Chains A and B, each alone.
Chain A
Amino acid sequence: MIGQFIDGPLWTFSLAVFVIGVVWRIVTILMAGNRPDLSTPRGSASSGAIRTIFSRSVYERTAATRGRLLQIAGYLFHIGLFALLFFAKPHVDFYAERITGFGWAAMPHWAFILSAELAFLGLLLLWIHRLLSPVTRLLSDLDDHLGTILVFLVMLTGCLALAQSFEALRLIHLLLAELLLIYFPFSKLMHTFTFIMSRGYTGATMGRKGVNA
């Protein structure tokens, strides 16, 4: 009964909240508007925007030790999570059945294990850093911790579900993923989408000035 609810209506509801919520957040940001820049450009705003959207993913060498740890942990977590989310076989099958109607090549089991280890290591490093560093302790709020905890639990139950192959574990994993989808548009997790806007805006501003940002 509960399993059917998690597998059926709750999945549909959470997906709808996620999609509508994300679109709503992006639209509200865009609707805030920006004034047109009347200064004579030295360079191209669009080229600057595109460059910065990609270049800010490149390792920043000028950061000090703490900054290097943050960046490496960030790479581990995001690359590992991306691989798990889109190339773990159960996920590919799930998307094909529930969303896309078609599948794609999934990664082998060893790659799944490696991705999971990288993602866990990165997430835990970032979280430990958040708890220990005076800078992030001062900055962090409930949302920062809630998002981390939810992602951690989704990843943990996902790995357990794959390892144990119990239906109950799969349902717990799906339930947590659904809670994450519902929470997503109202949280910092929105940076998954809005980073393109923030990088783009800054890149465009700096591109007009002829600065590679």
Chain B
Amino acid sequence: MSEQFEQGVEVLRQQIDAKISSYFSSCVHCGLCAEACLFYTETHDPRYTPIYKLEPMRKLWRREHTFWGKLGAIFGLNQPLTEQDFADWKTLVYDSCTLCGRCSMICPVGNDITYMIRKQREGFSVAGYAPDGMKEATVRALKIGSPMGVTFKTLKAALAHVEKDTGLEIPIDKKGADYMTLFSSMEIVNFPEYIESIARIFEAAGISWTVSSKAFEATNSGIQIGNKEAAAELVNRVVVAAEELNVKYVVSPECGHAYTAIRWEGPNLIGRQYPFDVVHILELLEQLKNDGRLQLEGKSVAPMTLHDPCQIVRRGGVVQQPRELLDGVAENFVEMKEHGVMNWCCGGGGGVSANERAEPLRLRVFERKKKQLQETGVNTMVTACANCRIILEEGIEHNEMDTEVISLTELVADHLVDGPK
């Protein structure tokens, strides 16, 4: 038994809190969670049943927290957790779970299975069973500042392009600004239109904002891989930068897990509350619209549907804002049959998109989103997460579908009333 494995088991042991104890005590193995998981519904492989993905943690809990488990351990009747368990379950824990949280919404006894898998990943990560792609992304995030290797120089070049295209100045390290805006590497590399949209919207609304040269990256690989030390370090960089610039708000970008990381897990990771508020870009846009600071004109007539990013909507609570924004700019908005907090995941969340090993499975389970789209009969899908967007585009390409994916923030920017505000 290796030392690293023992450390992993110890970390897993530390994750078993009252919530997890109550969840395992309540689970009656009804299997209803399978119906909520796209990895099960699209493959019918019972191993993809969400609660089954937690067998290693349940094995540890049963042995150390239950009467029969303790009795069995004394008489050698049940086996302790082994390295083989971790090896057998690593693909279930990392490849076939996007931490989307749909199973947590359907469990009759209310188990937050996603929370449990997130916690189980802490043990797997320490034991060395995280996928290479996710490990490398985390190392890059810690060393370079971005999981995709994007440096501030790269961002500065992208910002220069935006400044040239818009004629607007993008404030960097402006002390005392109201809002400090974060981006995801994917936006900087693949969707710089998002940055341009932000610049135009903030200018139009008269927002005092800035970008930090020290902490511009919003994504957090530590959350996805299950490494709380790495996650805390990445959150802390943002907090320190925001404190140095003395901003009132930090704006989380169109990225699902980044919002979960900075908004909901962040204060718990660093062990203190922030002296500023975290607001998701959609929350801010809706607030600006309601305050009359965001004047929009015209509506797109092409029928549009909305893909709800799991971490922003189901796990983040930003449910109505995207709908209200869409209503303001889309003439023919069509909801998917299962939408809002019950929407189906794109298949690439929770680090699955950074896990090359998971790609064939990810493309297979995209069938669920394809069915959802086909039910709407709409060819334009709006979303608010750069990761969802790239995964949706890959799925659409793979399935040779005639569907366009657009960013909600970009769509809102397209409908700005021209002229100074």
> Hey, which bits of chain A sit against chain B, CB under 8 A?
25, 28-35, 37-40, 42-43, 52-53, 56-57, 60, 62-64, 66-67, 70-71, 74, 126, 130, 133-141, 143-144, 185-186, 188, 190-191, 194-195, 197-203, 205-206, 209-213
Interchain CA distance A130-B272 in the complex, whole Å: 46
Residues from chain A with Cβ under 8 Å of B214 in the complex: none
Chain B contacts with A in 246-300, Cβ cutoff 8 A: 263-268, 271-274, 277-278
CB distance from A135 to the nearest CB of B (A): 4
Residues from chain A with Cβ under 8 Å of B268 in the complex: 35, 37-39
Chain B contacts with A in 1-52, Cβ cutoff 8 A: 16-23, 25-32, 34-36, 40-41, 44, 46-47, 49, 51-52
Interchain CA distance A28-B66 in the complex, whole Å: 10
Cβ of B106 < 8 Å from any Cβ of A? yes
CB distance from B282 to the nearest CB of A (A): 13
Contact residue among B17, B28, B273, B341 (Cβ-Cβ distance under 8 Å from A38)? B273
Contact residue among B26, B67, B115 (Cβ-Cβ distance under 8 Å from A197)? B26
Cβ of B104 < 8 Å from any Cβ of A? yes
**Are A211 and B314 in touch, CB under 8 angstroms?**
yes
Interchain CA distance A29-B51 in the complex, whole Å: 19
Contact residue among A25, A38, A139 (Cβ-Cβ distance under 8 Å from B51)? A139
Contact residue among A31, A40, A203, A212 (Cβ-Cβ distance under 8 Å from B110)? A203
CB distance from B43 to the nearest CB of A (A): 12
**Are A35 and B17 in touch, CB under 8 angstroms?**
yes
Contact residue among A28, A34, A135, A143 (Cβ-Cβ distance under 8 Å from B34)? A135
Quick one: given A34-B17, A39-B263, are A201 and B108 in contact (CB under 8 Å)? no
Residues from chain B with Cβ under 8 Å of A64 in the complex: 35, 41
Quick one: given A39-B266, A211-B317, A213-B104, are A198 and B22 in contact (CB under 8 Å)? yes
**Are B31 and A70 in touch, CB under 8 angstroms?**
yes
Quick one: given A198-B22, A198-B26, are A56 and B319 in contact (CB under 8 Å)? no
Interchain CA distance A210-B111 in the complex, whole Å: 18
Residues from chain A with Cβ under 8 Å of B266 in the complex: 39
**Are B26 and A195 in touch, CB under 8 angstroms?**
yes
**Are A202 and B111 in touch, CB under 8 angstroms?**
yes
Quick one: given A194-B25, A198-B23, A205-B115, are A135 and B46 in contact (CB under 8 Å)? yes
Cβ of B192 < 8 Å from any Cβ of A? no
Residues from chain A with Cβ under 8 Å of B319 in the complex: 210-211
**Are A62 and B36 in touch, CB under 8 angstroms?**
yes
Residues from chain B with Cβ under 8 Å of A34 in the complex: 17-19
**Are B106 and A62 in touch, CB under 8 angstroms?**
yes
Interchain CA distance A85-B46 in the complex, whole Å: 35
Residues from chain A with Cβ under 8 Å of B66 in the complex: 186
Residues from chain A with Cβ under 8 Å of B52 in the complex: 138-139
Residues from chain B with Cβ under 8 Å of A198 in the complex: 19, 22-23, 25-26, 109-111
CB distance from A64 to the nearest CB of B (A): 5
Interchain CA distance A197-B19 in the complex, whole Å: 8
Q: How many A-B residue pairs have CB under 8 A?
A: 173
**Are A201 and B267 in touch, CB under 8 angstroms?**
no
Interchain CA distance A56-B23 in the complex, whole Å: 14
How many of B's residues come within 8 Å of A, CB to CB?
A: 61
| Contacts A/B (CB < 8 Å), 6 sampled | A34-B19, A56-B107, A60-B32, A62-B36, A130-B29, A199-B110
Name the residue on A nearest B112 (C-beta).
A202
Interchain CA distance A205-B315 in the complex, whole Å: 10
**Are A63 and B22 in touch, CB under 8 angstroms?**
no
Known: A39-B263, A39-B265, A134-B44. 16 other contacts (CB 8 A): A28-B21, A32-B18, A32-B65, A39-B266, A63-B106, A64-B35, A135-B40, A139-B29, A139-B46, A191-B109, A194-B22, A194-B26, A195-B110, A198-B25, A213-B105, A213-B341
Name the residue on B nearest A60 (C-beta).
B106
Residues from chain B with Cβ under 8 Å of A202 in the complex: 19, 104, 110-112, 115
**Are A32 and B16 in touch, CB under 8 angstroms?**
yes
Quick one: given A33-B17, A40-B277, A205-B112, are A211 and B29 in contact (CB under 8 Å)? no
Cβ of B342 < 8 Å from any Cβ of A? yes
Interchain CA distance A31-B278 in the complex, whole Å: 32
Name the residue on A nearest B283 (C-beta).
A42
**Are B109 and A190 in touch, CB under 8 angstroms?**
no
**Are A135 and B26 in touch, CB under 8 angstroms?**
no
Interchain CA distance A29-B266 in the complex, whole Å: 26
**Are B29 and A141 in touch, CB under 8 angstroms?**
yes
Residues from chain A with Cβ under 8 Å of B108 in the complex: 56-57, 71, 74, 195
Interchain CA distance A38-B266 in the complex, whole Å: 9
**Are A29 and B22 in touch, CB under 8 angstroms?**
yes
Cβ of B316 < 8 Å from any Cβ of A? yes
**Are A139 and B110 in touch, CB under 8 angstroms?**
no
Interchain CA distance A201-B105 in the complex, whole Å: 13
Cβ of B165 < 8 Å from any Cβ of A? no
Residues from chain A with Cβ under 8 Å of B106 in the complex: 60, 62-63, 67
Report which residue of B44, B67, B314 has the largest number of chain A beta carbons within 10 angstroms of its beta carbon. B67
Interchain CA distance A65-B372 in the complex, whole Å: 18
Residues from chain B with Cβ under 8 Å of A199 in the complex: 109-110
Name the residue on B nearest A37 (C-beta).
B268
**Are B22 and A201 in touch, CB under 8 angstroms?**
yes
**Are A210 and B29 in touch, CB under 8 angstroms?**
no
Chain B contacts with A in 320-376, Cβ cutoff 8 A: 338, 341-342
CB distance from B389 to the nearest CB of A (A): 23
Interchain CA distance A143-B27 in the complex, whole Å: 12
Residues from chain B with Cβ under 8 Å of A37 in the complex: 268
Interchain CA distance A200-B112 in the complex, whole Å: 11
Residues from chain B with Cβ under 8 Å of A136 in the complex: 29-31
